[in-house]
A and B are shown apart, each in its own frame.
Chain A
Amino acid sequence: AQSVTQLDSHVSVSEGTPVLLRCNYSSSYSPSLFWYVQHPNKGLQLLLKYTSAATLVKGINGFEAEFKKSETSFHLTKPSAHMSDAAEYFCVVSGGTGNQFYFGTGTSLTVIP
Chain B
Amino acid sequence: NAGVMQNPRHLVRRRGQEARLRCSPMKGHSHVYWYRQLPEEGLKFMVYLQKENIIDESGMPKERFSAEFPKEGPSILRIQQVVRGDSAAYFCASSPRTVNEAFFGQGTRLTVV
Contact = CB atoms under 8 A, between A and B. Distances in A.
Nearest to B47: A100
A43 B105 contact: yes
A100 B33 contact: yes
A102 B101 contact: no
Contact of B42 (A49, A94, A105): A105
A15 B41 CA distance: 26
Interface string B97-113: 00111111111010000
The 8 nearest A-B residue pairs measured at CB: A43-B106, A44-B104, A105-B42, A103-B43, A106-B42, A103-B42, A51-B100, A101-B102
A98 B99 contact: no
Contacts of A32: 100-101
B34 to A, nearest CB: 11
Chain B's interface size range is 20 to 34
Given A43-B91, A90-B42, A105-B42, A98 B106 contact: no
Contacts of A101: 33, 45, 93, 102
Most buried by B among A46, A92, A100, A103: A100
Q: Is the interface of A mostly helix, strand, loop or mixed?
A: strand
B33 A43 contact: no
A71 B101 CA distance: 23
Interface string A38-66: 00011111100101000000000000000
Most buried by A among B35, B43, B48: B43
B31 interface: yes
